[in-house]
Chains A and B, each alone.
Chain A
Amino acid sequence: MSQMGMQMPGAQRARKASLNVYTGMSLVAMIALLVATIFVFRAAQVVAPEEGAMGVLKLHEPGKDIRNLPNAGKD
């Protein structure tokens, strides 16, 4: 009913959403996820086979000798 808004017969006026604890919790979750993403990104960047942001999502070829890590040692 709320999705239909005021157009449906007998619909009442929708109440405005307000900030609640779930907002805070989602904020905290988002922040935590953001921080974790950043940490994991930095760690994955070290062991990534290529440079750059998209390189962290690339995988090393299985069984092939890893001669160098392009992003290793960069802080």
Chain B
Amino acid sequence: MHILTKFFVFIAAILSVLLAGLSIAYTFNANEIASQITRANAAATAAQNEAESRILEAERETSQLKSELNSLEATVAGRDTRIAQLEGDLARLATENARLETAQATYSTRIDEFTTLIATAQELDAARAEELRGLRDDLLGSARKEIALTDRINDLVSQLEVAQATVRSLQESIVALQEGGETSGGSASRTPTAPEGFRARVTDVSTDASGRVLVAIDAGSSDGLREGTRLSVSDRNGFVSVIVIDQVNLNNATGYVDSRRSTSRTPSAGAVVGPAVTF
């Protein structure tokens, strides 16, 4: 084999080995780059999708915020309208307040005048009440005096009637003596008499089984009464009847009406009882 051929074969062998190495390196690196490109493309696609979704979400939030903004602007416009309305009301109320303050000053002055007038009227009323109280006291005193005088008059009238009855009795006795008849001389000397100045009141009037009128009085043995004492009963209208005491207690007594020496009227509770002339 020619040396040149050997040289060419040698070089060819060297170049073949070199070419193999280069081919292997190139293939491996190219595959690596291709895989990385694929990964980068996938990441880019994912990032793009992510970006698109975020863009959609941002657009949705933007639209939502825009709608909220519109509603808030409408609310603000409504509030502005309300504020203007309230400012108008405020001005009107301020005017009304000034007017009312002026009226208040006027009314305060009038109230002070009325207060002074009321105080004066109260003083006058107090004076009148005091005067009325005095007049009332005077009237009561006068009424009491009138009642006392009336009672005194009634008592005197009763005494007058008793005296008149006594006079009548005496006259009858005189007539009877003159005619010569004394039926009750012995008994009259034994008839007990009431104490000097004796006075009592009828407390109760009743009727017994025999029809006799029984009278209870508020005086008894402590006042000097005894059984058989004759007393006269009189009221506002005058002499009523003569009673004969038949039962005496310490502070009360009862008697019956002597119909022969009595009027047709029946004694009543509260009538005055006094001494009767006995003979």
Contacts and interface: CB of A to CB of B under 8 A. Distances in A.
Contact of B8 (A23, A41, A48, A56): A23
Interface residues of A, number: 30
A17 B25 contact: no
A33 B13 CA distance: 9
A26 B5 contact: yes
A27 interface: yes
A36 interface: yes
A33 B28 CA distance: 21
Contacts of A19: 2, 4-5
Interface string B146-172: 000000000000000000000000000
Nearest to A33: B15
What size tier do the contact residues of chain B reach?
A: 20 to 34
Contact of A66 (B12, B28, B33): B33
Report which residue of B15, B22, B23, B36 has the largest number of chain A beta carbons within 10 angstroms of its beta carbon. Answer: B22
Nearest to B18: A37
Chain A: interface secondary structure?
helix
Chain B: interface secondary structure?
helix
Nearest to B1: A17
A10 interface: no
B26 A23 contact: no
A62 B30 CA distance: 12
Contacts of A33: 12, 15-16, 19
A18 interface: yes
B21 interface: yes
Interface of A: 17-20, 22-23, 26-27, 29-30, 33-34, 36-37, 40-41, 43-44, 47-49, 56-60, 62, 65-66, 69
Given A26-B5, A66-B33, 12 more contacts: A22-B1, A26-B12, A29-B8, A30-B12, A34-B11, A40-B19, A40-B23, A41-B22, A47-B26, A56-B22, A56-B26, A59-B32
Question: Top 5 nearest A-B pairs by Cβ distance?
Answer: A33-B15, A26-B8, A44-B26, A47-B29, A17-B2
